[in-house]
């Protein structure tokens, strides 16, 4: 069994610790905890995790957020992974900070990375793990907010929430989406 776990974010030092890059942060933490390393490959940084007979490809697209679908399509095809075995880790301003929601499908909710993935794959039926980043910004300042760093209060609990996101990813690959939703979506 093969899985593709896509962490959404923007490449470049200036974006490294921003809210919009939580997908990259989750994959970096999972790789570090698993003692594996990313290597630059076509369309992104890629690491391979072996877990109880499963191969899990971790992908951080280098296409910038708005073109993430190109990287996703390439790696799904290259590794011959069905779309239901893909999980996209994405920031979500509609969820309170640190809230984690696993969904089997859904709209792009205005997120440009999801919008591009759905356009390229021609479907909104693919699993995604939404990581709440909150919405504490004045009207019209959404872009500034998602491209800002986490505040000091958020940084205190961020590592724990990132670790939980890693547990959700492993559970998704081992126990499936339904069981994982039952375990984690109400926490």
Per-residue pLDDT tens digits for 58-81: 999 999 889 999 999 999 999 999
Under the banding of pLDDT at 50, 70 and 90, the label for residue 2 is very high
User: Do the Cβ atoms of 10 and 20 come closer than 8 Å?
Assistant: yes
- Give the DSSP letter string of 105-128: S---TT-HHHHHHHHHHT-S-S-E
User: Do the Cβ atoms of 61 and 72 come closer than 8 Å?
Assistant: yes
Q: What is the arithmetic mean of pLDDT over 116-137?
A: 94
Instruction: Give yes or no for residue 186 having a pLDDT over 90.
Output: no
Instruction: Give yes or no for residue 118 having a pLDDT over 70.
Output: yes
Mind listing the pLDDT tens digit for each residue in 15-54?
A: 999 999 999 999 999 999 999 999 999 999 999 999 999 9
Phi, psi torsion values for 96, nearest 5 degrees:
-60, 155
User: Do the Cβ atoms of 172 and 138 come closer than 8 Å?
Assistant: no
Q: Which helix (H) or strand (E) holds 30?
A: helix 22-33
Active-site residue (options: 3, 6, 20, 47): 20
Q: What is the arithmetic mean of pLDDT over 117-145?
A: 92
CA dist., res. 138 & res. 140, Å (int): 6
Instruction: Give yes or no for residue 143 having a pLDDT over 90.
Output: no
* pLDDT of the residue at 90: 97
Residue 58 forms beta bridges with which residues?
A: 5, 47
* pLDDT of the residue at 187: 65
Q: What domains are there in the chain, each with its CATH number?
A: 2-184 (3.40.50.1470)
Q: Which two tokens stand for residue 72?
A: 């996703």
Compute the mean pLDDT over every residue in the chain, rounded to the nearest whole number: 95
Q: What angle do CA 87, 102, 149 make, to 5 degrees?
A: 85
Closest among 58, 64, 89 to 147, alpha carbons compared: 64
The DSSP call for residue 166 is H
Considering the chain, what percentage of its residues have pLDDT values greater than 70? 99
Q: Which two tokens stand for residue 119?
A: 């356009």
What is the value of pTM for the model shown? 0.95
User: Is 20 among the catalytic positions?
Assistant: yes
Q: What is the arithmetic mean of pLDDT over 93-107?
A: 95
């Amino acid at each position: 069994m093969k899985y593709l776990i896509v962490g959404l974010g923007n490449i470049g030092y200036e974006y490294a610790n921003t809210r919009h890059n939580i997908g990259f942060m989750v994959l970096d933490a999972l790789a570090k905890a698993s003692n594996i390393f990313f290597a630059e490959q076509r369309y992104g940084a890629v690491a391979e995790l072996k877990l109880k007979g499963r191969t899990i490809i971790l992908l951080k697209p280098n296409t910038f957020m708005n073109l993430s679908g190109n990287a996703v399509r390439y790696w799904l095809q290259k590794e011959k992974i069905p779309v239901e075995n893909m999980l996209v880790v994405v920031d979500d301003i509609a969820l309170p900070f640190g809230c984690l929601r696993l969904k089997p499908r859904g709209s792009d909710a205005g997120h440009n990375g999801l919008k591009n993935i759905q356009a390229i794959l021609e479907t909104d039926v693919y699993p995604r793990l939404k990581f709440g980043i909150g919405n504490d910004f004045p009207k019209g300042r959404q872009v500034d907010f998602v491209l800002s760093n986490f505040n000091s209060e958020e940084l205190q609990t961020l590592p724990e929430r990132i670790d939980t996101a890693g547990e959700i990813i492993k559970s998704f690959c081992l126990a499936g989406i339904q069981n994982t939703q039952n375990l984690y979506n109400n926490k």
